[in-house]
Amino acid sequence: MNQHLLPFYYWLESTALSHWVNRETQWLWPTMETLHFIGLSLLVGVAGFFDFRLLGALRGVPISAVKKFMPWALVGFGINLVTGILFFISQPRVYAANSAWWPKLAFIMIGGLNAMFFETAMGERLLRLGPDEDTPISFKIIGAVSLISWFGVLYFGRMLAFFGTQISGL
Amino acid sequence: MLKLMWALEDSAFAQWVAGAPTIWAYPSILTFHTVGMGIVVGASVVLDLRLLGVGPELPVSRLKVLFRPLWWGFWLNAVTGVVLFIAHAAEKYGQAVFYVKLALIAVALVTVVRIRREIFPEDESAPTHPITRKVKLLAVLSLILWAGAITAGRLMAYINLS
């Protein structure tokens, strides 16, 4: 564990929010986990649908129409960000010591930055693409990176229960 | 029946799945089960959202592509689910919430099939049927059922009634 971050973890553990999650853990933890899985399905389902169109599949589907679904992927991401932060601040040192946690975080960063890059740098080009048209190589790379990174997030999220110290709620 | 469950759990295969000190056993099978969940529920959610008015530029006729990943994800989860069950057969067999989960999945799948029948005519070349109020209700029902199935699945790790 990174020793420089220890004071931060101790501070997190001292917050009222951290105490609340730990106090109410019996019902709160299963509830947050369920929400985390629902968010996962939203994110993977909707973003995966978009990614496959970016890869050039689903011909005949206008890419701009598929993009209209993306706010729902963002809803899923938001649910998982909130529940994920609550998981973390309840036991920050346990997560930080878990060797699956850092790769999970890295994949979240890659997936997030990839989506932000696409949104800001390629948004206009996307709207010009016809419904039956193949996608340019740049779109295919973005789609592949997105699929791989969200799968990585899911994989290492699952591995949290099997790598390192047992997290109390898992 | 419980004897059979114990026998399953004691089999070499179940012992390997449950106890092998490798991430290729239980951890990976569980991960595939979660991936399958994301595909089944995700594909279903995209279908339901479109029927409820999201992305109206997406032709309803193209929604047919969603059924293939949906069923692939389902079979992936049927297989990984059976393996996960065998690994802890006696415990899962006695868990009421496990049967609730199975029932919710069954009803959710029936709902998905009904939606398909409502919007796609038997004649492949014919235009799709309009999205009626009934179809929208089925879409809402499907979303509720999948959320319920996920909840029941998660609770299997917490509620032990055996």
What ipTM was reported for this prediction? 0.91
> What residue type is A118 in one-letter code?
F
* Token pair of B145 as six digits: 């059922």
Decide if B161 is inside a domain. Answer: no
Q: Which residues span the domain enclosing B134?
A: 2-8+23-155
pTM for this entry: 0.92
Least confident of A52-56, A57-61, B38-42, B45-49: A57-61
Look at B14-28, B42-56, B109-123 and tell me which has the smallest mean pLDDT. B14-28
What is the rounded distance in angstroms from the CA atom of residue A99 to the CA atom of residue A105?
11
For residue B68, pLDDT beyond 60: yes
Nearest by CB to B150, which of A41, A68, A69? A41
- For residue B90, the one-letter residue type is A
Q: Is pLDDT of B161 > 80?
A: no
Residue B162 has pLDDT above 80, yes or no: no
Identify the DSSP state of A162. Answer: T
> Contacts of residue B34 in chain A, CB cutoff 8 Å?
37, 40, 154, 158
B35/A151 Cβ within 8 A: yes
**Token digits of residue B28:** 């990976």
Biggest CA-to-CA distance, chain B: 56
Whether B44 shows a pLDDT value over 90: the answer reads yes
CB contact under 8 A, B38 and A162: no
- Which pLDDT tens digit goes with each residue over B124-137? 778 888 899 999 99
Query: How many structural domains does chain B have?
Result: 1
Q: Tokens 């220890």: give the residue.
A: A6
- Residue A120: Cβ-neighbour burial (10 angstroms; 0-12, 13-18, 19+): exposed
pLDDT reported for residue B39: 95
- At residue A1 the predicted structure's pLDDT band, cuts being 50, 70 and 90, is low
Assigned domain for B160 exists: no
Instruction: Answer whether B46 sits within 8 Å of A62, measured CB to CB.
Output: no
Enter the tokens of residue A71.
Answer: 């706010």
In a domain, B13, yes or no: no
Residue B92 neighbours by CB under 8 Å, 6+ apart = B85, B98, B156
Tell me the pLDDT of chain A averaged across its residues. 91
| Tens digit of each residue's pLDDT (9 = 90 or more) over A145-162 | 999 999 999 999 999 988
Q: For residues B17 and B26, is the Cβ–Cβ distance under 8 A?
A: yes
- For a pLDDT cut of 70, what percent of chain B falls above it? 99
Contacts across the A-B interface (CB distance below 8 Å): 99
> What does the angle CA B100 – CA B102 – CA B106 come to, to the nearest 5 degrees?
115
On whether any CB of chain B is under 8 Å from the CB of A33, the answer is yes
Mean pLDDT of A93-115: 95
**Percent with pLDDT over 70 in chain A:** 95
* Residue B97 included in any domain: yes
What's the confidence (pLDDT) of residue A115? 95
The arithmetic mean of pLDDT across residues B18-32, rounded, is: 86
Whether the predicted pLDDT of A19 surpasses 70: yes
Query: For chain B, what is the mean pLDDT?
Result: 92
Q: Taking a C-beta distance cutoff of 8 angstroms, is the pair A55, A154 a contact?
A: no
pLDDT in tens, B137-154: 999 999 999 999 999 999
Q: How far is CA B27 from CA B16, B58, B88, in A?
A: 12, 38, 14
pLDDT at B154: 94
Catalogue the long-range contacts made by A103-110 (C-beta closer than 8 Å, 24 or more residues apart): A103/A152, A103/A156, A104/A152, A104/A153, A104/A156, A104/A157, A104/A160, A106/A152, A107/A149, A107/A150, A107/A152, A107/A153, A107/A156, A108/A149, A108/A153, A110/A145, A110/A149, A110/A152
Report d(CA B136, CA B87) in Å as an integer. Answer: 39
Please indicate, yes or no, if residue B90 is contained in any of the structural domains: yes
Q: How far is B34 from chain A (nearest CA, A)?
A: 8
Please compute the mean of the pLDDT values over residues A114-139 and round it to a whole number. Answer: 88
Q: How many CA atoms does the CB half-sphere of A144 hold within 13 Å? A: 9
Report phi then psi at B32, rounded to 5. Answer: -60, -35
CA distance A131 to chain B (A): 10
